[in-house]
Every structure is written in C-alpha cells, then in structure tokens.
C-alpha cells in the first residue's frame, strides 16, 4: 500500500490507492483529513488483507478481473439521512464495473458519510475461504477513523508534548542465560528475577508477550536490547577487564568454577559475557531512548546488575557497570547525565547520589567509600552524595525523609538534564539480604519525586533485589508510576531517630557544597569570629550541675580516663547525692543530654534564644528518688565529646562524628568503683533515651542480678536494645522479669508479627512519641513497678 493518494483539492489529479487488484478513487471533504497517511493510524499491509477480491476496475485492468467479479452498474444510496450535526465525509464514489465505460458508467452516491446501505450486497462479491472480507464501507470507515485518530493525536501531542509519549520497556530473554554452574547452589542473583518482573508487567496489562504482539503495545514502547561495544565499555572499564570477560565463552566448566570460587561474590558461565553485554547495551539504549525523546521515560529489566562493578573488576554479582557506561555514552553525545561513584568521583558534570546500608563500612562491600564524608575529589568534590544507613530495617518513611531533606533539594539545585536510577530493590520488604522494609508504594513515591526532574527524562535500570515476589511488585509499582499512575498511600510517615540523625549529619557535610543545605555558613562564621564559642550541650550540663547542687547537694564523681585528653564534656558528667554510698537503696539514672527546643531566625543560622527551651526529662524521677531517701547517681551520656583543641579560638566546627568516649567503660567504672562498693543492698537502674543501651551492656558484663531489683527504660521510638547472654545464659530471663521498657505506641516493634525474645525485656506501650512527654505519661506506672520490686 502506498502512503499517498488522498488529496485535499477535489480538482487535482487523484492518484489511486492500490489494494492488490482493486482500486478506489475517493473524493474526501478537505476538512476531514490531512494529506498523506493519517499519523497514528495503523496502515493496512498487504499481508493483513490477503487476497481481497477487486471492487473497482478501470478498462486498463479489466482483463485481469475474474469473470465472477464483473457486474453491471448499480446505484447505491444510503437509506439513512445524515445527522444535521454531522458533515458528510464521502462526497461520491465512482465505480467502473462494465465492459462499456461510456454506457455503463454510473454514479454511485451516498447522501450520508456514516454508512452505506445494505444494497451494496448486490455487487455480488464472492467470499473466498480464508481471505479477509473487504468492502467499500469497511475500507472507507477505516480511512475515516484513521483521520479522526490522527487529529486527536495531533491535539494531544501539541497540548502534552511529553505526557503523550509512551513509557519505554527494555527486556531480552537471552539475559537469563547467565547462571551459576553449581546445580545445587540457588544463587540470589537468580535468572528468574527479570522473568518474574516481565511476567508481572504482562499480567498487569502494561505490556504483552511476544506471541501476543509484544512489539506493538499501546501502553509501552519496546526498546530492543543490543550488546555493548568494546568502545562503549572502555569509557568506564579498563582494557584488562574487557579482555578478561572476552575469555569466558572459551573456558571449560572447571575453569569457570575456579573463577567463581576465587571471585568477589560473582559467578560465571560461558554465556555470562554475552548476557552482560546485553544488559549493558540494553541500559544504554534505554537511556538513549529517553534522552532522544522517543519515550517520556523508560525501565530496563536487565541482568546481570552493574552497581557493584568496578572499572577494573567484576564483583557483587556485577560484570559491567551498566548505568555508568550508559551515562558516559550519553555524555559523549550531550553534556549532562547521571552515574555511579567510582566512575564519576572526580567529575563535576555528573551528580552521584546513593542511599545504602553501610553499618560503619561492615556491610557489603566492606570498605569506607560509602560513608557520608566521601564527597568526591578534585572537580568532582561535592558531586558525590552518600546517605549511609547505620542499621537494617529502614522503611518507607525513612527513605521519603531522606528524599525530602537531601536528595530532592540537591537535585533541584543541580538541575540535571537526565536522571538514571540504579533501581536496587534489595531494600524491599522481604529481601533477606537487604533486610529493610521499603514497600512498593515507597518505591513509587520516590520515583514520582524523581520524575519532577530533568523535564521527566527518567531512565530506570534494574540492579539488585533478590526476593522474586518483592522485586516484581516493586518494579510494577515503579513502572505504573512512570506511566502516570499516582502512587498508593504510605502507611508510615515518621522517620526513625537513627535515620534523622544520619540525615542531619549528611546535611551538615553537604552544606559545604550546596546552598540548599542547612548549616551552610556556620563553619565559616565560627572560623572567622574572634570570639571563643562554646558548645551548648556542655553549657546545659554545667547549668544542670549547679541546679542539682543547689537543690539536692549533688556533686561530681571522679571518672578516670587514661590516655584521653581533657574535655569540658567530662566535667560534671557524673553527679551524686551525698548519701549515694550509705543509702540502703541506690538509683542510677543514665540519660542523653537534655533536649533543646528552638525557633530559628528566618533565613539565618541563628536561633531565637528567647524562644528556646531546655527539656530535662530526668528531674521528676530524680526528685522522687531523693524524697524517698534513696541515694542517686546521675550520669549524662552525650552524643559528642567536645575535643580539647576547640578550647582555642577559631577551631570550632559543626560536628558529624559520634562520641569518642567509651560509654561502656564509663558504666563499668561506675559499677566497679562506686556502686559495687556502696552499702546499698538494692539498686534501681533507670535509662532514658539511647543511653539506656549502656545500662544493658553493664547488666551483660557484670553480675548485677543479685543487687539490681528493677530496670526501667524510656525509649519512645528509639531502636530497641537487648542484653547479651554471653556471660550468663539466664540473664535474658532475669531482665524480662525485672524490667519495664516504655515504648511509643507508634514504634515499629508493634508492627512485627514475630514474638520478641526475652532479651528485649517487658515492653509497655505509651501513647506519646517524644521522649519528654513519654517520661511524664509513664511516670506513675514506672514508680509503681519500682515500689513493687523494692517491697
């Protein structure tokens, strides 16, 4: 079929439209079509219409017509009148059907453009078995529908130039051939990973299987994967690494098993190199399709993953660093894109941002490069943003909090032209390697936020994630979001204290490079001012010491720290009542530094001192213990120890690191030098905030069970801690019987289905989230429990 033949000018020569041996010469109203084939319509191929019998034959072609198709002329008129609101589309249809063009040429007209009457049956068209049935009505109706569809598509594309584009999908079944040779080993990087994702997309109706016309999806545009070239791979990887991978197809099974055994969490077979090239090339084509405007965004369901692959070696299930190679390839064609840390650590044209489980460098890969202080080098300084999680169990609210506080503000300031997402679903709920709790809705919300960048140019490339059910549901949620479906609601919206702490540290570190981050000028002011600055947590503790001395006569106990420099934080860190060593009952209160509520000055780094308040949650408990005649020891465990060099003018800085003091050593010294030597036969432990874990360490390391009668802890929404039964296997049961742990009712522990072990103690739910309010609400039940144990 040729694409020309419909003309706007009725007086102009009309080129025929050939359909096998049939020919029409339609005259169409000029306002109902655009010259050429209607855009967006699916043109009929010859194979679609098979051997349709001819309907109109001029003299030149009369000899080729079968005899049964040569009929007398007929007049065809519509039996239905046109609607006043409808403009006729078909003005006339002229057919030459007899041997005599002069005598037998008649007009066959229709007064309506909607349909032709059933009188068309007398044309006596013979149906052939197995052939498509083609009539003037169906053909012209298709033309009309195509013209209408073209106009509709034009209007949509003009009004919504990007939203009218489809989402791209890259998938190639050949990538499943990369598999472990050990038949007994079910490896986490399972070939089924990409299959279950693709099958889930099919079952959701977002795409089709190949046998169902998978290349002609209405919703998604298929992007063909291809093998990465050596030239492209060498944009990131070394020549030695490329040559190593090229040897894999020729190695025998034993050699491949040896490489697998000596490799860094990697396996190989003879198809690994081909699969890795397809995975990397598919990622390139996905990014190129997004960058070139063929699709509005896209997802590449590819494997093996690439996020752990270094320029010089394979590791962590990864052979090529897919997104890094894709970014470099696109970058050669255009100025900006996104990538991965090792490839862009000294590059300011690429912003690399990563949220990952770190645990002080002990989680895979075990090195310090993922810490928040690694911000790039040379020109790339400040363009590397790490958000390292200190523990597992990170959920939706934590990731959303990180996005809102760090990821999106920096990304908005950077203004990228293209966003490439290394879609690691190992943080998904149910993944036993990542051990986090991100739901499909959480991934959808993060994707939705990233779609606001780079004019919506977002390419998602599959990386980790090893629970088949988790990755398929998560990938489905991400794909639906890419296609315009709004994310489902989140069930949790409060970030955990540990995550908030990490985010504040990241903000402090990145404030050196990004204007959108807070604390941007504090360090500059501290170094420029000639006035000696003091840390507020030290000043608050000094104030507490004076107040407690005036009220209860409490004085500081000497704590010896051999080999450690002096610090104002150590002064008056441990305070005691005069009778601490003589009283029959001794209460040890261990707590964090007092909280400070403050209102910042708008647009400044200052706070409004007249609108700042110190919250001391220990005072009511301490006052009760003194009124009962008990001895009291109050230990302050701050999160940061002020270094001695800050005593000099101009050496103060915003601190990111945690305390350099050893709280366990503090607790052991308290027990060995003071509590154990006192006359008290009954001891009560009270822990407030994160400092309570130091009490549990003391219980684990010393034989306290014969003197400690009660252990009260207030933790609100802070992480739970447990006693260690290494010294005494029964310490867990003792702790369960003698403890009350007051926890906020919104704590994650209440959503767990598994029963908690005895080593976590007896938990009590309190309807308060912040620690100060929780202590006040739990005060009465805590006092009653202590009195019960003392009696």
Residues marked active site are found at: 308
> Contact 423/460 with Cβ under 8 angstroms?
yes
Q: CA of 387: how far to CAs of 46, 355, 356, in Å?
A: 58, 5, 6
Q: Say how far apart CA 687 and CA 591 lie, in whole Å.
A: 6
Q: What distances in angstroms separate CA 746 from CA 401, 411, 470, 772, one per listed residue?
A: 17, 32, 25, 16
Between CA 342 and CA 351 the distance in angstroms is 12
Note the Cα 332 to chain centre separation in Å: 27
Task: Pull the structure tokens for residue 6.
Answer: 């419909």
Burial class (CB in 10 A: 0-12, 13-18, 19+), 216: exposed
- Peptide bond connecting 304 to the previous residue in cis, omega within 30 degrees of 0: yes
Q: Cα(602)–Cα(589) distance, rounded to whole angstroms?
A: 38
- The answer to whether 476 touches 470, Cβ cutoff 8 Å, is no
Q: Which residues contact 532 (CB under 8 A, 6 or more apart)?
A: 649
**Which pair of structure tokens corresponds to residue 471?**
């990755």
Token pair in block for residue 593: 């530094």
Contact indicator for 440, 401 with CB cutoff of 8 Å: no
Distance CA 639, CA 662 (A): 11
Q: How many angstroms separate the CA atoms of 348 and 329, rounded?
A: 16
Alpha-carbon distance of 455 to 419, in angstroms, equals: 10
Determine how β-strand 631-636 pairs with β-strand 574-576: antiparallel
CB 626 within 8 A of CB 632: yes
Q: How far apart are CA 699 and CA 723, in angstroms?
A: 7
Neighbours of 58 (CB within 10 A): 12
DSSP string, 584-646: SEEEEEEEPPPEEEEEEPTTSS-EEEEEEEEE-TTHHHHHHHHHTT-EEEEEE--S-PPPGGG
d(CA 125, CA 65): 12
Cα separation, 299 vs 171, whole angstroms: 9
Distance between CA 497 and CA 715 in Å, rounded?
11
Q: Cβ distance 776 to 619 under 8 Å?
A: no
- Measured at the CA of 172, the angle between CA 170 and CA 173, to 5 degrees, comes to 145
Distance CA 785, CA 707 (A): 16
How many Å apart are CA 639 and CA 537, to the nearest integer? 10
Torsion of CA 184, 187, 190, 191, to 10 degrees: -50
d(C-alpha 58, C-alpha 23), whole Å = 8
CA distance 166 to 284: 18
β-bridge mates for residue 740, sequence order = 712
């Amino acid at each position: 079929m040729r694409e020309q033949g419909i003309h706007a000018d009725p007086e102009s020569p009309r080129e025929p439209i050939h359909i096998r041996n049939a020919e029409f010469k339609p005259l169409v109203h000029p306002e109902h079509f655009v010259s050429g084939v209607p855009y967006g319509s699916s043109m009929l191929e010859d194979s679609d219409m098979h051997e349709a019998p001819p309907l109109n034959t001029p003299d030149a072609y009369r000899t080729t017509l079968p005899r049964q198709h040569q009929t007398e002329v007929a007049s065809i008129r519509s039996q239905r009148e046109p609607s006043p609101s409808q403009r006729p589309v078909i003005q006339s249809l002229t057919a030459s059907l007899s041997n005599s063009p002069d005598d037998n040429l008649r007009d066959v007209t229709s007064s309506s453009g909607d349909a032709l009457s059933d009188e068309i049956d007398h044309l006596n068209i013979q149906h052939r078995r197995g052939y498509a049935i083609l009539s003037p009505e169906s053909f012209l109706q298709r033309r009309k529908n195509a013209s209408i569809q073209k106009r509709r598509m034009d209007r949509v594309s003009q009004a919504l130039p990007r939203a009218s584009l489809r989402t791209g999908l890259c998938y190639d079944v050949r990538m499943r051939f990369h598999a472990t040779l050990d038949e007994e080993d079910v490896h986490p990087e399972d070939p089924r990973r990409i299959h279950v994702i693709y099958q889930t997309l099919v079952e959701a109706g977002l795409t089709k299987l190949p046998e169902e016309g998978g290349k002609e999806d209405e919703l998604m545009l298929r992007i063909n994967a291809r093998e990465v070239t050596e030239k492209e791979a060498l944009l990131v990887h070394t020549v030695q690494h490329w040559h190593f991978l090229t040897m894999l197809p020729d190695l025998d099974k034993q050699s491949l098993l040896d490489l697998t055994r000596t490799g860094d969490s990697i396996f190989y077979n003879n198809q690994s190199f081909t699969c890795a090239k397809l995975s990397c090339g598919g990622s390139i084509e996905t990014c190129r399709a997004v960058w070139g405007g063929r699709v509005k965004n896209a997802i590449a369901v590819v494997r093996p993953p690439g996020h752990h692959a270094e320029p010089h070696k394979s590791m962590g299930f990864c052979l090529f660093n897919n997104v890094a190679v894709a970014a470099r390839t696109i970058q050669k064609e255009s100025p900006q894109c996104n990538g991965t840390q090792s490839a862009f650590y000294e590059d300011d044209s690429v912003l690399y941002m990563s949220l990952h489980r770190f645990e002080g460098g002990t989680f895979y890969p075990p090195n310090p490069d993922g810490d928040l202080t690694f911000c790039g080098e040379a020109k790339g300084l400040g363009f590397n943003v790490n958000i390292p999680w200190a523990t597992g169990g990170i959920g939706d609210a934590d990731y959303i909090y990180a996005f809102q506080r760090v990821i999106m503000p920096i990304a908005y300031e950077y203004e990228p032209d293209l966003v490439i997402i290394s879609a690691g679903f190992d943080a998904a709920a149910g993944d036993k390697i990542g051990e986090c709790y991100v739901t499909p809705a959480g991934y959808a919300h993060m994707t939705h936020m990233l779609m606001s960048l780079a004019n919506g140019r977002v390419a998602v490339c599959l990386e980790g994630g090893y629970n088949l059910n988790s990755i398929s549901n998560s990938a489905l949620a991400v794909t639906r979001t890419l296609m315009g479906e709004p994310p489902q609601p989140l069930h949790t919206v409060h970030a955990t204290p540990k995550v908030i702490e990490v985010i504040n540290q990241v903000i402090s570190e990145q404030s050196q490079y990004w204007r959108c981050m807070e604390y941007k000028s504090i360090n500059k002011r501290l170094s420029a001012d000639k006035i000696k600055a003091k840390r507020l947590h030290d000043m608050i503790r000094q104030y507490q010491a004076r107040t407690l001395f005036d009220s209860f006569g409490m004085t500081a106990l000497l704590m010896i720290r051999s080999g450690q420099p002096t610090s104002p934080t150590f002064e008056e860190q441990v305070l005691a009542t005069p009778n601490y060593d003589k009283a029959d009952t001794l209460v040890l209160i261990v707590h964090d530094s007092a909280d400070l509520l403050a209102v910042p000055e708008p647009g400044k780094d200052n706070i409004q001192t007249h609108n700042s308040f110190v919250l001391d949650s220990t005072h009511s408990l301490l006052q009760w213990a003194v009124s009962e005649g008990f001895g009291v020891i109050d230990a302050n465990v701050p999160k940061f120890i002020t270094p001695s060099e800050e005593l000099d003018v101009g050496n103060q800085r915003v601190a990111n690191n945690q305390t350099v003091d050893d709280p366990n050593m503090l607790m052991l010294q308290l027990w060995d030098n003071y509590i154990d030597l006192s006359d008290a036969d009954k001891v009560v432990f009270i822990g407030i905030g994160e400092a309570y874990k130091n009490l549990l360490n003391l219980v684990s390391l010393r034989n306290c069970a014969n003197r400690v009668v009660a252990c009260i802890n207030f933790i609100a929404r802070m992480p739970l801690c447990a006693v260690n039964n290494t010294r005494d296997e029964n310490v867990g049961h003792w702790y369960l019987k003698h403890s009350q742990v007051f926890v906020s009712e919104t704590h994650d522990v209440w959503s767990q289905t598994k029963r908690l072990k005895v080593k976590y103690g007896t938990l009590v739910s309190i309807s308060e989230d912040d620690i100060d309010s929780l202590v006040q609400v739990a005060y009465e039940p805590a006092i009653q429990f202590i009195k019960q144990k003392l009696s």
